[in-house]
């Protein structure tokens, strides 16, 4: 019924700004979905949630697009961490050190660890994604509120906005919100819903927070057969800023990118591996279920069959290629 109107609208849009076929297909799908919503008796509250979520996600996308080519470190941690707490200083120094290396910090924009990380990175290297709450929180003074801050009504859109563009994750001790973010990041990596990335769980040298957390994960989740024995290889506990920075840099020391198309995976590397190194992968990392052995597509691109299931083994593969010396 509305097909001609939709096509006319898209043609007018194409006349205003050049759109690729892929973008037009996505826009067509969105417009069709909007028309379908108008034709059914959708709950008004649900419509408001959908409209707000779309607006928040697109707003964040617009902000992040300006810095698409900059690597980004998402920092999570408690809003209650005071400036006197050693963790505050560790978060500040971490983001400062990463900024010196060209990395931007993605911050929740509030107080505590969020403020510390923004302070360390500085206004020009911090992107803020705030959450609107009745009792907290206002953007900290180290965020450029005019051009580098978006505010969210929903936690789920905020997590998408912070995790999707990030290339590494640093998580400091915290409460329910931090645990939600930590498990969200691990779930995304475990299921391949985000690209492979390093996760560093940071505490002071004397701190026991993450070790006690790992004890729970091991004794309850692993022992109960709810996750695999190797699944926690997705994260590393670090007791210093130097160790955390080293883990992030090591992850990208040889590994560059991962992609899958039609069941074939491509891992792009910084250095060309030897034939022996590629051959040894078959023994070190089992097949990913597609039956295609490891091979080189070109000098710096490793290819293999991938069934889209075992992203923990993919992390193990990345760890191995980062140990290769050339």
Distance CA(178)–CA(200), nearest Å, equals 13
Which residues share a beta bridge with 151?
130
Q: Are strands 295-298 and 301-305 parallel, antiparallel or unpaired?
A: antiparallel
Please report the sign of the dihedral spanned by the C-alpha atoms of residue 33, residue 37, residue 43, residue 44. Answer: positive
Annotated domain spans of the chain: 3-65, 72-251, 255-321
Answering whether pTM is above 0.75, one says yes
User: Per-residue DSSP letters for 46-67?
Assistant: HHHHHHHHHHHHHHHHHHHHTT
Distance CA(91)–CA(111), nearest Å, equals 12
User: Per-residue DSSP letters for 67-89?
Assistant: TTTS-EEEEE--TT--TTSHHHH
Distance CA(180)–CA(188), nearest Å, equals 12
Q: Which token pair is 130? A: 């705030």
Contacts of the segment 315-320: beta carbons below 8 A, 24+ positions apart: 315/189, 315/196, 315/233, 315/234, 316/230, 316/233, 316/284, 316/285, 317/267, 317/281, 317/285, 318/196, 318/251, 318/255, 318/258, 318/267, 319/233, 320/281, 320/284, 320/285
For residue 1, the model assigns a pLDDT of: 63
Residue 42 φ/ψ, nearest 5 degrees: -70, 140
How many angstroms from the chain centroid is the CA of residue 174?
Answer: 19
Q: Are strands 149-152 and 168-171 parallel, antiparallel or unpaired?
A: unpaired
308 Cβ contact partners less than 8 Å away, ≥ 6 residues apart: 192, 260, 263
For residues 286 and 313, the answer to whether their CB atoms sit within 8 Å is: yes
Closest among 198, 311, 209 to 244, alpha carbons compared: 198
Q: Taking the CB of residue 72, how many other CB atoms lie within 10 A of it?
A: 21
For residues 126 and 111, the answer to whether their CB atoms sit within 8 Å is: no
- End-to-end CA distance of the chain, in Å? 62
Per-residue pLDDT of the chain (326 residues; tens, 9 = 90+): 678 888 888 888 877 788 888 988 898 898 888 888 878 887 888 889 988 999 999 999 999 999 999 999 999 999 999 999 999 999 999 999 999 999 999 999 999 999 999 999 999 999 999 988 776 557 889 999 889 999 999 999 999 999 999 999 999 999 999 999 999 999 999 999 999 999 999 999 999 999 999 999 999 999 999 999 999 999 999 999 999 999 999 999 999 999 999 889 999 999 999 999 998 898 888 767 566 789 999 999 999 999 888 899 999 999 999 999 75
Fold of 72-251: Rossmann fold (3.40.50)
Residue with structure tokens 């789920």? Answer: 156
């Amino acid at each position: 019924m509305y097909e001609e109107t939709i096509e006319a609208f898209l043609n007018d849009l194409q006349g205003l700004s050049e759109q690729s076929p892929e973008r037009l297909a996505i826009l067509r799908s969105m417009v069709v979905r909007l028309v379908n919503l108008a034709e059914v008796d959708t709950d008004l509250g649900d419509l408001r949630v959908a409209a707000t979520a779309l607006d928040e996600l697109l707003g964040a996308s617009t902000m992040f697009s300006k810095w698409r080519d900059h690597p980004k470190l998402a920092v999570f941690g408690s809003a209650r961490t005071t400036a006197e707490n050693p963790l505050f200083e560790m978060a500040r120094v971490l983001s400062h050190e990463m900024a010196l290396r060209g990395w931007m910090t993605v911050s929740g924009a509030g107080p505590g660890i969020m403020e510390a990380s923004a302070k360390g990175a500085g206004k020009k290297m911090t992107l803020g994604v705030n959450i609107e709450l009745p009792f907290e929180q206002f953007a900290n003074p180290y965020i450029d509120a005019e051009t580098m801050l978006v505010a969210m009504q929903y936690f789920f859109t905020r997590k998408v906005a912070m995790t999707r563009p990030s290339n590494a994750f640093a998580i400091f001790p915290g409460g329910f919100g931090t645990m939600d973010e930590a498990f969200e990041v691990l779930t995304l990596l475990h299921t391949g819903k985000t690209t492979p990335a390093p996760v560093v769980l940071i505490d002071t040298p004397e701190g026991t927070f993450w070790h006690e957390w790992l004890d729970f994960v091991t004794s309850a989740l692993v022992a109960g057969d709810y996750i695999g024995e190797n699944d926690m290889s997705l994260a590393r506990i670090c007791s210093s800023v130097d160790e955390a920075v080293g883990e992030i840099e090591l992850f990208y020391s040889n590994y560059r990118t991962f992609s899958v198309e039609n069941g074939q995976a491509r891992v792009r590397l910084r250095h060309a591996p030897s034939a022996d190194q590629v051959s040894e992968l078959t023994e070190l990392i089992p097949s990913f279920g597609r039956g295609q052995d490891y091979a080189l597509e070109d000098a710096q691109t490793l290819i293999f069959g991938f069934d889209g299931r075992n992203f923990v083994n993919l992390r193990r593969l990345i760890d191995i290629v980062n140990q290769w010396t050339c």
